[in-house]
Amino acid sequence: MTVTTTAAVMAGTFVVGTPALVSAAGQCPITVSEQGSTTVGPALVAAQSGFQSSQGCSLDIVQNGSGTGLTALLAGSVNIAASSRPLKDGTEKTNLFAWQVGGDAMVIAVNKNLGLSNIKMDEVKGIYNGTITNWNQIAGSSISGTIVPRSRITGSGSRDDMGRLFGIDLVTAEPATITATGLARLTTSNDEADAACNNANQIVYTSLANLLTFGPSGSNCLKALNLAAGSTTSYVAPSVQTVQNASYPAPRQLFLAVRKFSVIGGAATTDTSANVKAYDLVNYMLTSAGQGAVNQVGFVNQPIPAAQPIPDADINLDGAIGLADIGNITGRWSQTSNCKGWVRADANNDGAVGLADIGKITAKWGGAGFVAP
């Protein structure tokens, strides 16, 4: 008996009837709930319309910081989180999957009228650790004045990355330095850029997206400082090109994270519509359309993978495509919805569960399924 024949026999054996997913207004009611990084946020906003149109669902974007978003994801109160830093060892890596959907640079920036163009990574470290307090302490500087460092709120992915990339002491020295300014911590990458635009002696860290918005090609109030690794004098300007060619010394990665399937549980992984569509958002952001949105706001594109990161054909996401996936389809047999791909059993995204979905499985029979990032 061929695989296809076996599938047809199973389809006739395990037919069940369950109400379809519909809304009172007759519209697809699925909403993917996202929280997280204000750095990644512009790329998601740029992708939102295309994702909603192609996937037939809504995407709710809340830009409240990487740490806040990942905490909400761990608690199960959102379906997906954006992060501008890698997952941390421990709870995050144990319970979450994260895919890189773009690249960025840690842009060190000042007001465009400040007479400074270059800075070393060691000098940035000194500023935020409180050992460098005047512009005349910067190599090659011809200006003097008290430096006013601005920093993001605790839990910000950008702040965590500053510690990781520049070796800043985020436990003691940086908090003391920021407290001494008498100024509040900033919530978003946009706030950082705005602070430097409107204050002559403030130094900030922000993203390529905000450099595009506030820099020379945008409102032209922000100047990115050329950055040299360590204490060297090989200064490099932040740009898509210098991140791509690895010459810029402070590159960053942009991520989307979901809870591991073992954490969510099998039924919620395959049958909870908002989770299922969250996986589609990961896939969408790693298509040409999604990467177009990444590029549109000034971030660095990721290579588009040859296969979906979260394959439609591996319905139960166990890493293999075969009979177990067909069992998921027969368990949902004959159900319909006005939402395409509302459960993973609707493998071909046509709003109905049946033979066409089994065909998608048999076409990829024995092939590679889900591979953890």
Give the integer Cα–Cα distance in Å for 229 and 227: 7
CATH 3.40.190.10 range(s) for the chain read: 3-13+28-104+254-363, 107-249
| 166-190 b/e (C-beta count within 10 Å ≥ 16 → b) | bebebeebbeebbeeeeeebbebbb
pLDDT, tens digit, 9 for 90 and up, residues 138-179: 999 999 999 999 999 998 999 999 999 999 999 999 999 999
Give the integer Cα–Cα distance in Å for 249 and 325: 45
Report the amino acid identity of residue 201: N
Predicted local distance difference test score (pLDDT) of residue 140: 93
Q: What is the CATH number of domain 107-249?
A: 3.40.190.10
DSSP annotation of 135 reads: G
Predicted local distance difference test score (pLDDT) of residue 224: 97
Which are the contacts of 267, defined by CB distance < 8 A and separation ≥ 6? none
Average pLDDT over residues 255-280: 96
Q: Please state whether 24 falls in left (phi above 0), alpha (psi between -120 and 50) or beta.
A: alpha
pLDDT, tens digit, 9 for 90 and up, residues 126-145: 999 999 999 999 999 999 99
Predicted local distance difference test score (pLDDT) of residue 1: 33
Task: Tell whether the model's pLDDT for residue 16 goes beyond 50.
Answer: no
Ranges of beta strands (E only) in 176-248 are: 202-206, 222-224, 226-228
Helix, coil or strand: residue 267: helix
Report whether 235 contacts 228 (CB < 8 A).
yes
Reported as a pLDDT band with limits 50, 70 and 90, residue 230 is very high
Q: Out of 3.40.190.10, 1.10.3720.10, 3.40.50.300, 3.40.50.11540, select the CATH number for domain 3-13+28-104+254-363.
A: 3.40.190.10
β partners of residue 102: 254
